[in-house]
Amino acid sequence: MTPNKRYCYSCDLKDDAKLIAEYKEYHAEGNAWPEITQSIRQAGIVDMQIYLTGNRMFMIMEVDDTFDPLKKATMDAKNPKVQEWETLMSKFQQVLPWAKDGKKWTELEKVFQLS
């Protein structure tokens, strides 16, 4: 299926060069756990990219028409390997001060599009 929607999120890493380097190593090409990339694809996420500046991250997800954020959250909550990964990533990540309900990844509001 072709991507039909984009979701963008932001999250901070702890402002520690060693932790940031370790986080980047976990996310280097081929290093993400296969169970994690499989769960991402199974949820209808066609492409995912994470960008970093300083300790602020931006995640861009291209999804197909089967993707539902609530369904993905439910799937993740039931997947022990995803929960293990999330616990590990919590060592590196911190919640944005304005995040609702303490969610690590906060959805970005689109404020401009070149038409």
pLDDT digits (tens, 9 = 90+) for 98-109: 998 878 999 999
Per the listing, tokens 């919590």 go with 90
| DSSP label of 101 | G
* 113 inside domain: no
Calpha distance 103→115 (Å, rounded): 32
Averaged pLDDT for residues 61-65: 96
- Looking at the domain assignment, is residue 114 inside a domain? no
Domain count across the chain: 1
Task: Supply the CATH number for residue 77's domain.
Answer: 3.30.70.1090
If pLDDT is split at 50, 70 and 90, which confidence band does 4 have? confident
Stated as kind and residue range, the H or E segment containing 53 is strand 45-53
Q: What is the DSSP letter of 99?
A: -
Residue 97 is assigned to a structural domain of this protein: yes
Q: Is residue 75 included in any domain, yes or no?
A: yes
In a domain, 115, yes or no: no
Residue numbers of the domain that contains 36: 5-107
Instruction: Confirm whether 28 is domain-assigned.
Output: yes
Ramachandran class of 105: left when φ > 0, alpha when ψ lies in -120 to 50, beta otherwise: beta
More confident: 4 or 80: 80
Residue 45: phi and psi, rounded to 5, are -90, 115
Q: Read off the pTM.
A: 0.90
Task: Tell me the HSE value of 25 on the side-chain side, using a 13 A CA sphere.
Answer: 7
Q: Is residue 21 part of a domain?
A: yes
